[in-house]
Amino acid sequence: MKVKQIMVKMPLVHPFTTSFGTQRDKYAILIKISDEEGNIGWGETPLERQPGYCYETTETAWYIQKEFLIPELLKLDTLTGYEQLSEPYSKIRGHEFAKSGIEAAINTYVANKTGKSLGDLYGSVRSKVPTGVSIGIQPDIDKLLTRISTFLDQGYHRIKIKIQPGWDLEVLKRIRTEFGDIKLMVDANSAYSLNDVELFKAMDRYELMMIEQPLHYQDVLQHKKLQREIDTPVCLDESIHTVTEAIEAIEQECAQIINIKPGRVGGYMNAVEIARKLGKNKVWCGGMLESGINRVHNLFLQAREEFSIPGDTSGSNRYFEQDIIAPAVKVDDKGYITLLHGKGLGVEVLEDKIEDYSIRQQLYML
């Protein structure tokens, strides 16, 4: 068995600004597993260069995979599933995104080898999924309104805008005036505190689907205090890293909804478990500006029945001039993405395009 780590840098067609910074390129680690019989599997660890969204970065994940995760994988004689690694990986604390890239590659490898679609592994039941778009902070409100209008014209089912102090109530007022009762939500990426309760109360009038991660990235309990004060559902993103944390946050009424990012919760099987345990209307699938590889994984996850809320998985062209899969992910004019239930990923991985984006590669074998 061979394992390849590939660091890619993919230029974004539009800069993506959140309360923690601006990204102009998508960095990710691609993982390719291959064996002597020619079976292969692709996965991705989508992260950033800076520890802005979370403490993991592309470099910490590269290191954790190289030093700890890949050596354990190479010890296996035959690879049959990620559960073979749960014991050794449980001794490596945190680093969920690093683990999830390996997991995604193993899932694709196992699907390919057994002639199944990834959808069979993830329990997909739908052939197409409704989708939304996450729009970063723009230089001014008019630019934001233009962008929203473009995405609505393209069919997207719901609009998520990033907010931060000074870019919140006034922006929402303008959006409601311009676009009426579109499906709308906000993501604060932890830019506020409990001192801002009045501001969130004032947000209730805009009938948002939810407010994502308003408070500190490590906090859960203060979100409960906020949720008690407002009608709009609170959704947690940054604060949730495990299946248990997701279940507890909902049970303890700290939030009403969890944004499941498979990478943030240690992989797709954990994501499936959270969805199974919480059920419909409590979960949806977020994104990390993934390349086509994990974009397809995310789509198969969302084809499960629990994912009734449109996710952040937009079409490839919303992020990249040229994606690394063919066909690229496409949103139809009704805002749906149709899944391709072939073997494994169900799409072709364009290795020549990956070479164009590659900035570093390392091959491992015993």
By the criterion CB under 5 A, which residues form the site for Mg ion? 187, 212, 237
Regarding 237 and contact with ligand OSB (CB under 6 A), the answer is yes
Q: What are phi and psi of 197, to 5 degrees?
A: -55, -40
Write out the DSSP string of 20-57: TEEEEEEEEEEEEEE-TTS-EEEEEEEE-SSTTSSS--
Choice from 56, 96, 168, 187 touching ligand OSB (CB under 6 A):
187
Q: Which of 101, 119, 263, 286 binds ligand OSB (CB under 6 A)?
A: 286
The catalytic position among 26, 113, 261, 353 is 261
- The residue range among 242-250, 280-288, 321-329, 351-359 that interacts with ligand OSB, by the rule CB under 6 A, is 280-288
Q: Which does 312 bind (CB under 5 to 8 A by kind): Mg ion, ligand OSB, none?
A: ligand OSB
Estimate the share of the chain in helix, then strand, then coil, as percent rounded to the nearest 5: 35, 25, 40
* Residue 323 sits in the site that holds ligand OSB (CB under 6 A): no
Q: Shortest Cβ distance from residue 261 to Mg ion (Å)?
A: 8
**Which listed residue (113, 162, 282, 353) is catalytic?**
162
287 binds, among ligand OSB, Mg ion, none (CB under 5 to 8 A by kind): ligand OSB
User: At how many degrees (to 10) do helices 96-113 and 292-302 cross?
Assistant: 80
Whichever of 31 and 258 has its CB closer to Mg ion, that residue is 258
Return the closest-CA partner of residue 243 out of 221, 268, 219, 222. 268
72 half-sphere exposure, CB direction, 13 A CA radius: 20
- Mark the segment that binds ligand OSB (CB under 6 A) among 89-97, 276-284, 287-295, 345-353: 287-295
96 lines the binding site for ligand OSB (CB under 6 A): no
Q: Which residues have CB under 8 Å from 261's CB, separation 6+? A: 237, 271, 285, 286, 287, 288
Q: Which does 289 bind (CB under 5 to 8 A by kind): Mg ion, ligand OSB, none?
A: ligand OSB
The one among 41, 214, 262, 287 contacting ligand OSB by CB under 6 A: 287
Q: With respect to Mg ion, which residue has the nearer C-beta, 190 or 270? A: 190
Q: Is 28 helix (H, G, I), strand (E, B) or coil?
A: strand
Pairing state between β 21-34 and 336-338: unpaired
Nearer to Mg ion, 22 or 80 (CB): 22
Of these, 288, 296, 325, 331, which contacts ligand OSB (CB under 6 A)? Answer: 288
Tokens 């599933």 correspond to what residue? 81
CB of 284 to ligand OSB, least distance (A): 11
Length reported for the chain: 366
Among 274, 289, 293, 299, binds ligand OSB (CB under 6 A): 289
What's the closest the beta carbon of residue 80 comes to ligand OSB, in angstroms? Answer: 31
In the bound state with Mg ion, the residue whose beta carbon lies nearer, of 103 and 237, is 237
Indicate the angle between helix axes 141-153 and 169-179, nearest 10 degrees: 40
Q: Is 183 a catalytic residue?
A: no
The minimum distance between CB 37 and ligand OSB, in angstroms, equals: 34
Residue 235 dihedral angles phi and psi, to the nearest 5°: -120, 135
Cβ(28)–Cβ(290) below 8 Å: yes
Which residue shows structure tokens 């994940």? Answer: 61
Token readout for 60 is: 């910490």
What are the structure tokens assigned to 91, written together?
């001794």
Separation CA 311–CA 186 (nearest Å): 13
CA dist list (Å): 195 to 17, 191, 227, 268 = 24, 12, 14, 36
- If binding is defined by CB under 6 A, does position 239 make contact with ligand OSB? no
116 counts as catalytic? no
Tokens of 207: 């009938």
Q: From CA 294, how far away is CA 241, in angstroms rounded? A: 18
Partner in contact with 323, chosen from Mg ion, ligand OSB, none, beta carbon below 5 to 8 Å by kind: none
Of 175 and 235, which has the nearer Cβ to Mg ion? 235
- Active-site positions read 162, 261
Residues of this chain that bind ligand OSB (CB under 6 A) = 53, 134, 187, 189, 237, 286-289, 312, 314
